[in-house]
Amino acid sequence: MRRANRPAGPLMRGAATTYAGLQITLHWASALLLFALFPLGYYMTSLAKGAPGKAALVNLHKSLGLTAALVIAWRVIARMRQSTPPPIPGLHCWETELARITHRLLYMCMVVMPLSGYLGSSFNQYGTRFWGVPLPRWGWVDSALQHLFTTLHGMTAYLLLGLVVFHVSGVIKHQWFDAQRCVQRMLPGRGAPTL
């Protein structure tokens, strides 16, 4: 399939080359939170029930997860309200489409994962504390529903992890093998910001 090398029209010539400052900030904030949540979630689930310190780790995971949910919600709103740069010039059509699908799946997982985790906690006897503050429970004690949402939470986490690895691999390919400077689009002060 051919690369998209058509001459840039007036809109393309005036298009932003980087993401807006808010989008950049939220991208890296959510990335840091997710990279903290993955090892924490893996470690705490490997501990035996009632193990010393496990409850504190679970509460930390829930608080970080809900913080990530707020950042991601803000990120979704910002993405809907602010324009984004056009695709990287010179990509094959299939690469552009694959990037679009990957980004949509990333957003879907980032929404489903904290929501399913919160719902899973709503159907057990412990509930959820957000940095020490008890949150409303949207359910009742029901082991079947808790298992359903907890399973969905775990499966989504693995899918998200796979998508993140795929996303980072794509960035490495475009940045260092294709010399397309895609990382600069997500760094502050590297081009004309979006409006």
Q: pLDDT tens digit string along 94-106?
A: 988 999 999 999 9
- Which parts of the chain fold into alpha helices (H)? 10-13, 21-46, 54-81, 93-122, 143-172
- Mean of the pLDDT values across residues 100-119? 95
What global pTM score does this model have? 0.83
Residue located via tokens 């932003």: 16
Q: What is the pLDDT of residue 16?
A: 60
User: What token pair was written down for 56?
Assistant: 């504190």
Domain boundaries, the chain: 21-82+89-185
| C-alpha neighbours within 13 Å on the C-beta side of residue 160 | 21
End-to-end CA distance of the chain: 33
Q: How do residues 133-183 score in pLDDT, each as one tens digit?
A: 999 888 899 999 999 999 999 999 999 999 999 999 999 988 888 878 788
Task: Indicate the CATH number for domain 21-82+89-185.
Answer: 1.20.950
The CA distance from 101 to 32, in Å, is: 22
Q: How do residues 120-129 score in pLDDT, each as one tens digit?
A: 999 998 889 9
